[in-house]
Amino acid sequence: MRTQHLESESGDFIIKRRDGLIAYQLAVVVDDELQGITEVVRGIDILDSTARQIWLQRLLGYRTPRYIHLPVVTHPNGDKLSKLTGAPGIPLDNTRPSLVAALEALQQAPPADLAAASLSDIWRWAVQNWKLEPLQGVTAMSIDSISANILTATPSMP
């Protein structure tokens, strides 16, 4: 677990914008509380935001969800893979191969025939077999290093 000293590492941060809108840090804290969120899984690239949110939760007397931060996938040049950096979307016509490829990229070691299973069976396997340990210390993975590229996974038809 990483410790962050907000006063020296972050300092003040915006919770209400000049235009009157509530800024992200406060909005997400209130939204999570109102929805009863107990677990949050997000990219490690926003790890620093988590400390601010926990601080706000404590000030407001809210519960603090459990947080897990996963490595981000990057372009070969190191930029995070995202719409902003030109990454194509994941095909929605057959999500099973992409989901299994994502499990492989996250070092979860899915069985070879899992892509032929139903979507609900893939999710069931993922929930029952999830292990965070293989990702300890991993902050990023180049798209080139992912053995089964999520964006071009080809269907394995039953």
Q: What is the mean pLDDT of the chain?
A: 85
Q: Which alpha helices (H) appear in 65-156, and where do they start and end?
A: 95-105, 119-129
User: Is residue 76 included in any domain, yes or no?
Assistant: yes
Of 51, 70, 89, the position where a domain reaches its end is 70
Structure confidence at residue 76 (pLDDT): 84
Q: Are residues 52 and 90 in the same domain?
A: no
Helix (H, G, I), strand (E, B) or coil at 44: helix
Task: Measure Cα distances from 64 to 40, 48, 68, 118, 132 in Å.
Answer: 10, 15, 13, 34, 20
Cα–Cα distance, 25 to 52 (Å, whole number): 7
CATH of the domain at 26: 3.40.50.620
Q: Are residues 83 and 143 in the same domain?
A: yes
The tens digit of pLDDT for each residue in 34-65 reads 999 999 999 999 888 999 999 999 999 999 99
Q: Are residues 47 and 59 in the same domain?
A: yes
Q: Considering only CA atoms, which of 69, 68, 149, 152 is closest in space to residue 105?
A: 149
Cα–Cα distance, 36 to 92 (Å, whole number): 29
pLDDT surpassing 80 at residue 147: no
Tokens of 47: 């790890």
Q: Considering only CA atoms, which of 64, 65, 71, 23 is closest in space to residue 47?
A: 71
| DSSP state, residue 58 | H
Cα–Cα distance, 151 to 89 (Å, whole number): 7
Q: Are residues 134 and 106 in the same domain?
A: yes
Q: Are residues 87 and 139 in the same domain?
A: yes
pLDDT surpassing 70 at residue 88: yes
User: Is residue 158 included in any domain, yes or no?
Assistant: no
pTM for the model: 0.73
Q: Are residues 66 and 76 in the same domain?
A: no
Q: Which residue range forms the structural domain that includes residue 101?
A: 72-152
